[in-house]
Structure formats: structure tokens, C-alpha cells
Amino acid sequence: MRKQPIQETSDETARFGQRLFRRTQTAVVLWLGLILLSTNLGVSAAQEKPKVGTSERVDALITQLTTAADPTLRISAAELLGEMGERQGTKPLVAALRDTDLNVQKTAALALGLIKDRSAVDPLIDRLRETSDRDLKATIAFALGLIRDRRAVEPLIEILKDRDAKVRTNAAIALGRLGDPRAVEPLLALPHDKDHETCAPIALALGQLKSERAVKALIGWLNDENPDVCQNAALALVLSGGKGQVEPLIKVLDSEKPIIRRSATFALGLLNDRRAVMPLIARLQDTDLQVRLNTIQALAHLKDRRSIAPLRSVAHDDADEAVRKSASDAVNQILAPRK
């Protein structure tokens, strides 16, 4: 006989949980970065691209960037030069950092980040320190993270204390990409703002830095009273990629807070360490639907045959149809021949 329903759900909820689990650690960072990137740009690439050869096309775009009276055309030219990644566009784009139109400046900054020409680092840093516009600061910080030149570390640390959350967020993301240990202590010193807007980028940056000091701090955050902090710490520990994170994540599987259990089951699946198999099996009976779904996906990823019988039991007995189907699919995935 099937148990009484523990928690109502829908197929869409189940599918969402499964999609969430399948995101890799890299995708987590790219997802956050792309949201910020689209927010910072605020421009459209709707202009038709010139149908000419590459060299002629670059020349045409540079001319458009430097001579067009309409700022919309200059924005389009800067955007397309960035997409093309041609270093020939670096000098005119550096000049465009001082364009009379602020949106042209922002688009030029991002384009320089996409081109990744290190000769643009010093001009970007100079503009970062000069401007009082927070959107431009945030865009330049993001661009410096794309270029990944360590000359940007100290200037980015300086703006971690900016009053604007977007500036702090992009600075943290950029410092994580740069991977310089000088950023660890400044990131740890940042308080979690009351709305927790910068919690995720700070945690993810610390995870990318992979320092022992950062990992210890993230493990401590697993037990923070705010669930957002716990969730982001778990994802950050996945990014740090070591084996020392497994035991702390196993310990918080017994937390009273569902969000912590959800985060821990999600992270343990991504860490791909078989020490987590038996503790995860115990979570197949969790009262929280998303914990059960995350656990099933984690066990499917781990592909340990010890989980086949418990998963079959869940596929037969769980009160929720989506959970039963997910468990059945997981069994098939574990039994499938390895490619």
C-alpha cells in the first residue's frame, strides 16, 4: 500500500528539480554571469550585420563606432566588435570608454572583455577608478573578470565595498575568475547584506579560489541561520572541487532546515564521491519533496549499485508520482552500460 502523500507536487515541479540538478558547476557560474551581463548591457544587437568580408567588416564597424552621430549605431558597432573578438577593435573600443553616451561606454567595456586583449586592462582600470556611474563600474568589473589579468585584482578588491550591490556582485565574480589568493580575505570580510543579494557571488567566488581558508569558511556557512547562505555555501564547495567537502555536507543532511538538506543532496551528487551513497539512501524517505528528488538524481549520478534496491522501493511506494517516476528512471540509468 502506498503511503499517504507527504507533500503535494506537480510534474512541472519534478522536472524543475531534475533540470536544476543536471546543471554542472560551470553552468552555475555561467548562469549567474549571463544574468548580470544582460542586466548590465541594456542594449540590443538588432542592427543588421554588414554582409562583407571579415577585414572589411571590422573596418566598417570601427568607422561606425568612431564617426556615427547616432549613439545607437555606435552601440551596435561596439557590440558587434566584441562578438567578433577581433583585436583590431581594441584601440577604438578603448577610446569609446570616454564616449559622450554612457551606454556606448558600457557596451565598449563589455566588448573589450569579450575580446580579451590584455592591452585594454590598464585603460579599463583607469575608467573604473574615474567613473561615478555604478552601472559602468559593474560592467567594467565584469569585463576585467573576462580578461583574467591579475593587474585587476587590487582595483576589484577596492570596489568590493561599493554601496551598490551590482558593483559588489560583479567584482566578486571577477575576483573568482581571476583566482588570485589576495582576494580571499577581502571576500571573507564582506558582511552578508540584509537582502543577501551578494551572498551567492561571494560564495561562488570563494569556491573558485579553492583556498583552504575559503573552504573552511564555506563549511562554516553550511550551518548559517540564513538558508540562502547555506545553499550558496554548498554550491561553492562543489566549485572548490576537493574531497574534504564531502563529510561536512554529509553532516548537514540531518539539518532541520529543508533548504540545507536540498543543497547538501544536490552538492553531494555533483561531487561524485561514493562515501555519500549510504547517507543519501537514508534521505530517500525525507519529508521534503525536493530533497527526495535531489537525492534520487544524486544517486543516479553516482551509479552505485547499492542504491538500486532502495530506489526500486521508492519507485513502487512513494506517495508522489513524480518521485516514483524519477526513482524508476534512476534505476535504469544506473543499470545502463557505461559508455
Residue 212 has a pLDDT of 87
Query: pLDDT confidence of 5, banded at 50, 70, 90?
Result: very low
pLDDT number for residue 225: 77
Q: Which residue has the cell 581558508?
A: 213
Residue 193 binned pLDDT confidence (cut-offs 50, 70, 90): low
The pLDDT, as a whole number, for residue 197 is 66
The predicted model scores a pTM of 0.72
All domains of the chain, ordered by start, with CATH? 7-23+229-339 (1.25.10.10)
Averaged pLDDT, 313-322 = 94
Please determine, for residue 93, whether its predicted confidence score (pLDDT) is greater than 90.
yes
Spatial separation of the C-alpha atoms in residues 152 and 163, rounded to whole Å: 20
Distance CA 247, CA 201 (A): 24
Residue 278 has pLDDT above 60, yes or no: yes
Between CA 260 and CA 216 the distance in angstroms is 17
- Give the pLDDT confidence of 210-234 residue by residue, as tens digits: 888 888 888 888 888 777 788 888 8
Q: Residue 25's pLDDT is what?
A: 35
207 or 100, which is more confident: 100
The C-alpha atoms of residue 19 and residue 15 are separated, in whole angstroms, by 6
> Cβ distance 168 to 157 under 8 Å?
no
Residue 65: is its pLDDT beyond 90?
yes
